[in-house]
Structure 1
Amino acid sequence: MSTHTITTPVRPADAAERTSLVKLCLGRGVLALVWAAVFAGAHEDVDAVAVTLLVVYPLIDAVSSLIDHRALPGGPERGITAFNGVLSTLAAIAVGIAGAGGVAPVLHVFGAWAVVSGAAQVVVGLRRRGPELGKQWPMLIAGGLSFVVGIFYNIQAAGADPSLDVLSVYATGGGVFFIAQALLLSWKARRSGTAAA
């Protein structure tokens, strides 16, 4: 008698999407952690270096969204991913302009971007939940926190002593959640392969 477990075959499109998503999440997470480390030591003044780094961060997200959009076979989340790419590009331009005004305008722009992109990330995570891509908990939590933190940034920007220190923490948290998502997807792929053996 065969002891092999009967499983639903993994469709090539699903497997390809999962592989692409693992690489994307891992790369996105590592870049976020590197950015956080560099920015932590370079934002004492909102000078050319700090503004350049501030522009780079949403551009990383924009490029990631483009890669994700091209890898998706279809579905409603493809449009949301495209929207997020455009949003992040606009955020990069806006934060570059805001940098000339100092800390408070930068926090306002980052906060607004964090709110909208966080909401979009939650929607994409909900639509991707399933047997092949898992429950997407890291992405759902990261998107929800981004939404909440974005509101906090705007409140802080309107206060007496706004600080850009929070952005390194934001990027670090995002990086950790992206890497966690990549690890969960990889674990799920290995588990599925073992079950099918």
Structure 2
Amino acid sequence: MQTRIFLIRGVAALAWAAAFATASDSLTTGPAILLVLYPVIDLVATIIEARGRQASTRRVLALNAVVSAAAAIAIAGAATEGTGSVLGVFGVWAATTGAAQLIAAVRRRKAFGNQWPMLVAGALSSIGGISFALSATGPDVSLDPLTLYAAAGGAFFVIQAWMLRRRLRRASAAPTESTVITSPLEGANA
């Protein structure tokens, strides 16, 4: 299940980045809808993931879901104000959810092993979010960096899905302690 969530989330982010790259020249209805949709994708994926997690990780993911819902609403409102407002709200959301992603990745390490793609994605989200928020008041505000932000995040989710899938395959192929040896010659070096 976790592999599928990571893969779908990654592919959705990559598709969003491709769509936004073609539409982000101005803040019209199409790009505004895409901007609202991005935290909604995070919201839905986070809710699905939280269902199977331990209490401490579930609390972090629940907070992340609430922040994503609030961000979607705030981005919709900010879209009526202009590009700077949208970038500022998106930045605060990205920084906050990036921090939550870092915490969740650290907590998932025990259950899912190596989480470096999620750790990197969380750190980049936090750094990118801070950068977006700071640049939102600048003279040349642009939404173009959001395309790279989403594409990078999507790529890290796809990599994490691949790594988890590989780990699960190796674990299922590895002999277990319950393997019964039926002959004293089995496994012997001859």
Query: Partners in 1 of 2:139 and 2:2 — Cα distance?
Result: 41
Match among 6, 9, 14 for residue 33 of structure 1: 14
1:75 and 2:55 aligned? yes
In the alignment of these two chains, the number of paired residues is: 176
Structure 1 residue 60 and structure 2 residue 31: aligned?
no
Q: Following TM superposition, by how much is the alpha carbon of 1:156 offset from its aligned partner in structure 2, in angstroms?
A: 1.4
Residue equivalent to 2:138:
159
Match of 2:104, SS state, is helix
Name the aligned partner's letter for residue 114 of structure 2: K
What SS does structure 1 have at the residue aligned with 2:26?
coil
Which amino acid letter does the alignment assign opposite residue 108 of structure 1?
G
1:97 aligns with 2:52: no
Post-superposition offset of 1:102: 1.1
- TM-score normalised by length of structure 1: 0.87
Spell out, residue by residue over 1:56-114, the C-alpha distance to the aligned partner (whole angstroms, 9 max, x if none): 00000000011011222x23000111111111010000000000111100110010001
- Taking the TM superposition and a 5 Å limit, the aligned residue runs for 1:42-191 are 42-72=23-53, 74-130=54-110, 132-191=111-170
Counterpart CA distance in 1 for 2:38 and 2:154 is 12
Look up the SS of the partner of 2:112 in the other structure: coil
How large is the RMSD of aligned CA atoms in angstroms? Answer: 1.0
- CA offsets, 1:137-172, max 9 Å, x none? 110110011111111111211211010000111100
Give the TM-score taking structure 2 as reference length.
0.90
Q: Which runs of 4+ in 1 moved over 2 A?
A: none
Percent identical residues:
44
| Distance in structure 2 (CA, Å) of the matches to 1:70 and 1:151 | 29
